[in-house]
């Protein structure tokens, strides 16, 4: 079995047992003796015994398996608090009180991300190395390569560009020639508009929800809105600092704050100018903020099912000429 698929099995198992036990507990049918056999230990065995064991079986890195097991078990407790009827909760009442521990874990996750940003960017500035490598290396050293590490890298990248973007120079990124994309169709200006819109609506919406619905709902919505604001600020500041780069062997696609994609030049079958809308499909990937992509790339061999890449670049013809000239030298 593919390693990436195998690592997703615990999450799929949690979804499957949550749905099946949700149907069991919430209905009155012969399976649960018409509501008389809604025992909490049925879901507890799957969620807090089999699930963590499955994490350790499917994930080779035991440290990563332990972290994933803790997160998924916390989610299972949250799900159980909704699907198990209140009159059948005995042990679950004590487990639900652990939600504060889960909240502390999430806050610790954010703190680690911010601290990693500070140390990574400081190291990158001192050593003149690529900032993203400085971010990725300590995380991969701590968690290895996996879903959890990728998530923390993404989170760290958000805080890096939200807080320390002015210290990041595009010339620090790996590659010989760099190309920008933030000016195409006023992409950066549009992003700034979204940021201002989110910032202006936060207070009125919070007050409306506070008095019209509930203070708790207002706080939750405002918290999520604040996180989205941080995301858009990071995206806005990364646009002009994370370039598309080319060296003698590879094309490095960095777009906004999302993970970098490395494409070998000898795997590029065709690169041409493009115009018009590109529909979503399983075998294509669009890197474009505004308008339509203006560069199309066809790969000889698919990169994780991706066969076609569509990019929006400020200087499309110069970008195409650069790649074609380097392909001819291979």
Q: How far apart are CA 250 and CA 262, in angstroms?
A: 7
Per-residue pLDDT of 206-222, as tens digits, reads 999 888 888 888 888 89
Q: Residue 151 above 70 pLDDT?
A: yes
Confidence band, pLDDT 50/70/90 cuts, at residue 268: very high
Count of CB atoms situated within 10 Å of the CB of 5? 10
Confidence band, pLDDT 50/70/90 cuts, at residue 65: confident
Q: What percent of the chain clears pLDDT 90, i.e. is strictly above it?
A: 36
Highest mean pLDDT: which range of 18-32, 58-72, 171-185:
171-185
Q: Residue 261 above 70 pLDDT?
A: yes
Q: How far apart are CA 289 and CA 278, in angstroms?
A: 13
Confidence band, pLDDT 50/70/90 cuts, at residue 127: low
Q: How far apart are CA 104 and CA 161, in angstroms?
A: 25
Q: Residue 139 above 90 pLDDT?
A: no
Q: What percent of the chain clears pLDDT 70, i.e. is strictly above it?
A: 89
**Mean of per-residue pLDDT scores for the chain:** 85
Q: Residue 123 above 90 pLDDT?
A: no
Spatial CA neighbour of 298 closest among 283, 287, 309: 309
Q: Residue 154 above 80 pLDDT?
A: yes
Confidence band, pLDDT 50/70/90 cuts, at residue 143: low
Burial letters 101-132, b for 16+ CB under 10 A, else e? ebeeeeeeeeeebeebbeebbebbbeeebbbb
Spatial CA neighbour of 139 closest among 123, 163, 128, 161: 123
* Range 268-293 average pLDDT: 92
């Amino acid at each position: 079995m593919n390693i990436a698929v195998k690592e997703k099995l615990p999450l799929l198992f949690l979804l499957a047992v949550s749905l099946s036990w949700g149907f069991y507990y919430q209905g009155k049918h012969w399976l649960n003796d018409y509501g008389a056999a809604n025992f909490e230990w049925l879901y507890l065995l799957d969620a807090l015994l089999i699930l963590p064991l499955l994490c350790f079986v499917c994930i080779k890195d035991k440290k990563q398996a332990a972290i994933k097991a803790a997160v998924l078990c916390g989610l299972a407790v949250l799900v159980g608090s909704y699907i198990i009827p209140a009159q059948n909760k005995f042990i679950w009442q004590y487990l639900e009180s652990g939600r504060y521990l889960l909240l502390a874990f999430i806050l610790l996750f954010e703190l680690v991300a911010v601290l990693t940003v500070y140390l990574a960017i400081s190291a990158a500035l001192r050593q003149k190395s690529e900032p993203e490598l400085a971010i990725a290396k300590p995380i991969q050293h701590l968690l290895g390569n996996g879903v959890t590490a990728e998530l923390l890298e993404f989170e760290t990248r958000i805080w890096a560009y939200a807080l320390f973007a002015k210290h990041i120079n595009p010339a620090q990124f790996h590659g010989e020639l760099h190309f920008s994309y933030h000016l195409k169709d006023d992409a950066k200006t549009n992003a700034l508009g979204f940021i201002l819109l989110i910032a202006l609506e936060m207070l009125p919406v919070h007050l409306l929800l506070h008095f019209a619905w509930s203070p708790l709902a207002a706080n939750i919505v405002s918290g999520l809105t604040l996180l989205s604001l941080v995301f858009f600020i990071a995206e806005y500041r990364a646009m002009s600092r994370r370039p598309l780069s080319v060296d003698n062997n590879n094309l490095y696609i960095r777009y906004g704050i999302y993970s970098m994609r490395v494409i070998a030049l000898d795997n590029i079958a065709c690169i041409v100018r493009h115009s018009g809308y590109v529909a979503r499909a399983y075998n294509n990937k669009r890197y474009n903020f505004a308008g339509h992509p203006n560069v199309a790339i066809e790969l000889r061999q698919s990169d994780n099912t991706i066969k076609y890449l569509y990019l929006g670049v400020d200087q499309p013809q110069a970008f195409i000429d650069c790649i074609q000239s380097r392909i001819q030298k291979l």
